[in-house]
Amino acid sequence: MATNHSRKRKGSGNNHRPSKKCAVEKEDIVDVMTDSERKPNFSSLSGPNGVNRNHASPLVANKPVSTRKLIIKNFKDKPKLPENYQQQTWDKLKEAVIAIHKSTSIKSSLEELYQAVENMCSHKMAPLLYEQLRVLCDEHVKSNVSQFLADSVNSPLYLKQMNTCWQAHCQQMIMIRSIFLFLDRTYVLQNSSMPSIWDMGLELFRVHIISNRSVQNRTVVGLLLLIESERNGEAVDRSLLKSLLRMLSDLQIYHEVFEVQFLEATNQLYRTEGQQLMQERDVPEYLMHVDKRLNEETERLLHYLDQSTKKALITCVEHQLLGDHLSSILQKGFDNLMEANRTSDLTLMYQLFSRVKNGLHELCAGFSSYVKKRGRAIVINPEKDKTMVQELLDFKEKLDTIVSDCFQNNEKFILALKDSFEYFINQRLNNSRALAKFVDSKLRAGNKEATEEELERLLDKIMVIFRFIHGKDVFEAFYKRILQRDFCRKSASVDAEKSMLSKLKQECGGGFTSKLEGMFKDMELSRDINIAFKQHLQNISSPDNIDLTVNILTMGYWPTYVPVEVHMPPEMVSYQEIFKKFYLAKHSGRKLQWQPTLGHCVLKASFSAGAKELQVSLFQTLTLLLFNGTEELALEDIAHQTGIEDTELRRTLQSLACGKARVIQKVPRGKDVEDGDKFVFNNEFKNKYFRIKINQIQMKETAEEQISTQERVFQDRQYQIDAAIVRIMKTRKTLSHTLLVSELYEQLKFPVKPGDLKKRIESLIDRDYMERDKDNSNMYKYVA
Amino acid sequence: MADDEKREQMEVGSGDVDINDKKPDKMFGLKKWNLVAMWSWDVECDTCAICRVQVMDTCLRCQAENKQQECVVVWGECNHSFHNCCMSLWLKQNNRCPLCQQEWALQTTGK
Ligand SMILES: [Zn+2]
Ligand SMILES: [Zn+2]
Ligand SMILES: [Zn+2]
User: Which residues of chain A does CATH 1.20.1310.10 include?
Assistant: 84-211
Torsion of CA A436, A439, A441, A444, to 10 degrees: -120
Q: Note the pLDDT of residue A447.
A: 54
pLDDT single digits (tens) A4-23: 444 444 444 344 444 333 33
Sign of CA dihedral A144, A148, A153, A154: positive
- Give B101 to chain A, closest Cα distance, Å: 18
Strand partners, A772: A780
Give dist(CA A246, CA A410) in Å, integer.
41
Give dist(CA B56, CA A557) in Å, integer.
9
A13 touches chain B (CB under 8 A): no
pLDDT single digits (tens) A611-623: 999 999 999 999 9
Give dist(CA A29, CA A37) in Å, integer.
11
Count the Cβ atoms, other than its own, within 10 Å of residue A278: 16
DSSP structural state of residue B96: B
Tell me the three-class secondary structure of A568-619, residue by residue. CCHHHHHHHHHHHHHHHHHCCCEEEEECHHHCEEEEEEEECCEEEEEEEEHH
Which chain A residue has its CA at the smallest distance from B81's CA? Answer: A589
What type of residue sits at position A252?
Q
CB of A747 closer than 8 Å to CB of A720? no
Going by C-alpha positions, the residue among A763, A758, A752, A748 that lies closest to residue A778 is: A758
pLDDT band at A471 (very low <50, low <70, confident <90, very high): low
Question: Which residue in B5, B7, B39, B106 has the most chain A C-beta atoms within 10 A of its own C-beta, making it the best mutation to test that interface?
Answer: B39
pLDDT single digits (tens) A667-701: 888 888 889 899 999 988 888 889 988 877 655 55
Give dist(CA A359, CA A327) in Å, integer.
9
Count the Cβ atoms, other than its own, within 10 Å of residue A5: 16
A505 touches chain B (CB under 8 A): no
Give dist(CA A648, CA A753) in Å, integer.
40
Give dist(CA A394, CA A396) in Å, integer.
5
Helix (H) or strand (E) holding A153: none
Distance between Cα B51 and ligand 3 center (Å): 15
CATH number at A599-697: 3.30.230.130
- Give A544 to chain B, closest Cα distance, Å: 10
- φ, ψ dihedrals at A430, nearest 5°: -65, -10
CB contact under 8 A, A628 and B25: yes
Cα–Cα distances in angstroms (integers) from residue A422 to residues A378, A415, A425, A475, A611, in the given order: 13, 11, 5, 15, 56
Q: Note the pLDDT of residue A756.
A: 86
A477 has a pLDDT exceeding 90: no
Give dist(CA A396, CA A379) in Å, integer.
13
CB of A558 closer than 8 Å to CB of A480? yes
Strand partners, A266: none
A641 Cβ contact partners less than 8 Å away, ≥ 6 residues apart: A567, A626
Strand partners, B47: B54
CB contact under 8 A, A441 and B1: yes
Give the residue with greater pLDDT, B23 vs A378.
Answer: A378
Contacts 24+ apart (CB under 8 A), A115-119: A116/A89, A116/A92, A117/A93, A117/A179, A117/A180, A117/A181, A117/A182, A117/A183, A118/A70, A118/A182, A119/A79, A119/A89
pLDDT single digits (tens) A144-195: 888 888 776 677 888 888 899 999 999 999 988 888 888 888 888 888 888 8
B39 has a pLDDT exceeding 70: yes
Going by C-alpha positions, the residue among A70, A82, A83, A84 that lies closest to residue A121 is: A70
CB contact under 8 A, B38 and A546: no
Give dist(CA A391, CA A465) in Å, integer.
11
CB contact under 8 A, B64 and A556: no
User: Which residues of chain A does CATH 3.30.230.130 include?
Assistant: 599-697
Of the ligands numbered here, which is closest to the C-alpha atom of B104?
3
Mean pLDDT of A53-74: 41
Give dist(CA A284, CA A341) in Å, integer.
12
What type of residue sits at position B62?
C
Which chain B residue has its CA at the smallest distance from A481's CA? Answer: B1
Helix (H) or strand (E) holding A752: none
pLDDT band at A364 (very low <50, low <70, confident <90, very high): very high
Strand A678-681 relative to strand A664-667: parallel, antiparallel, unpaired? Answer: antiparallel
Distance between Cα B82 and ligand 3 center (Å): 10
Mean pLDDT of B7-23: 39
User: Which residues of chain A does CATH 1.10.10.10 include?
Assistant: 703-782
Q: Note the pLDDT of residue B20.
A: 42
Distance between Cα A732 and ligand 2 center (Å): 20
Q: How many residues does chain B have?
A: 111
A478 has a pLDDT exceeding 70: no
Sign of CA dihedral B50, B53, B54, B59: negative
Q: Give me chain A's average pLDDT, please.
A: 80
In CATH, A703-782 is 3.40.1280.10:
no
Q: Note the pLDDT of residue A464.
A: 78
Give the residue with greater pLDDT, A58 vs A456.
Answer: A456
Give dist(CA A364, CA A334) in Å, integer.
11
Q: Note the pLDDT of residue A56.
A: 37
What is the maximum span of chain B, computed from C-alpha positions, in angstroms?
Answer: 73
Cα–Cα distances in angstroms (integers) from residue A154 to residues A160, A241, A247, in the given order: 10, 16, 20
Q: Note the pLDDT of residue B21.
A: 41
**Selection from A268-272, A305-309, A513-517, A749-753 with the highest mean pLDDT:** A268-272
Give dist(CA A549, CA A541) in Å, integer.
17
pLDDT band at A402 (very low <50, low <70, confident <90, very high): very high
Q: Note the pLDDT of residue A125.
A: 83
Mean pLDDT of A651-660: 89
Strand A779-782 relative to strand A547-554: parallel, antiparallel, unpaired? Answer: unpaired
Mean pLDDT of A42-62: 37
Give dist(CA B18, CA A604) in Å, integer.
10
CB contact under 8 A, A601 and B26: no
- φ, ψ dihedrals at A763, nearest 5°: -65, -40
Contacts 24+ apart (CB under 8 A), A749-755: A749/A472, A749/A473, A749/A508, A749/A509, A749/A511, A749/A512, A750/A470, A750/A471, A750/A472, A750/A473, A750/A474, A750/A717, A750/A720, A751/A426, A751/A470, A751/A471, A752/A717, A752/A721
Question: Which residue in A383, A524, A588, A622 has the most chain B C-beta atoms within 10 A of its own C-beta, making it the best mutation to test that interface?
Answer: A588
CB of A437 closer than 8 Å to CB of A478? yes
Q: Note the pLDDT of residue B54.
A: 85
- Give B46 to chain A, closest Cα distance, Å: 12
CB contact under 8 A, A593 and B38: yes
Q: Give me chain B's average pLDDT, please.
A: 77
Chain A positions in Cβ-Cβ contact with residue B4 (cut-off 8 Å): 695, 698
CB of A127 closer than 8 Å to CB of A194? no
Angle between helices A238-250 and A283-303 (to 10 degrees): 60
Strand partners, A152: none
- Give A332 to chain B, closest Cα distance, Å: 40
Cα–Cα distances in angstroms (integers) from residue A652 to residues A582, A662, A671, B99, in the given order: 32, 12, 13, 47
Tell me the three-class secondary structure of B10-30, residue by residue. EECCCCCCCCCCCCCCCCEEE
B9 has a pLDDT exceeding 90: no
Query: Could you please report the per-residue DSSP string of A346-377?
Result: HHHHHHHHTTSTTHHHHHHHHHHHHHHHHHHH
Give dist(CA A262, CA A465) in Å, integer.
55
Going by C-alpha positions, the residue among B64, B55, B68 that lies closest to residue A518 is: B68
Residues with CB under 5 A from ligand 3 (ion): B 78, 80, 97, 99-100
- Give B5 to chain A, closest Cα distance, Å: 6
A629 has a pLDDT exceeding 90: no
pTM across the whole model: 0.57
Of the ligands numbered here, which is closest to the C-alpha atom of B90?
1
Which chain B residue has its CA at the smallest distance from A553's CA? Answer: B38
CB contact under 8 A, B35 and A594: yes
Q: Report whether the peptide linkage leading into residue A559 is cis, meaning its omega lies within 30 degrees of zero.
A: no
Give dist(CA B19, CA A610) in Å, integer.
6
Strand partners, A770: A782
Mean pLDDT of A621-630: 90
- How far is CA A360 from its chain centroid? 9
Chain A positions in Cβ-Cβ contact with residue B33 (cut-off 8 Å): 546-549, 572, 575, 599, 601, 618, 621
B/e letters for B14-52, b = 16+ CB within 10 Å, e = fewer, are: eeeeeeeeeeeeebbbbeebbbbbbbbbbbeeeebbbbe
CB of A281 closer than 8 Å to CB of A304? no
CB of A415 closer than 8 Å to CB of A453? no
Give dist(CA A215, CA A237) in Å, integer.
20
A484 has a pLDDT exceeding 80: no
A727 Cβ contact partners less than 8 Å away, ≥ 6 residues apart: A747, B64, B65
Of the ligands numbered here, which is closest to the C-alpha atom of B55?
1
A368 has a pLDDT exceeding 90: yes
pLDDT single digits (tens) A197-225: 899 899 988 888 888 888 888 889 889 99
CB contact under 8 A, A602 and B31: yes
Name the residue facing B40 among A593, A621, A691 (closest C-beta).
Answer: A593
Question: CB pairs below 8 Å between A and B: how many?
Answer: 230
Give dist(CA B34, CA A183) in Å, integer.
118
In CATH, A84-211 is 1.20.1440.230:
no
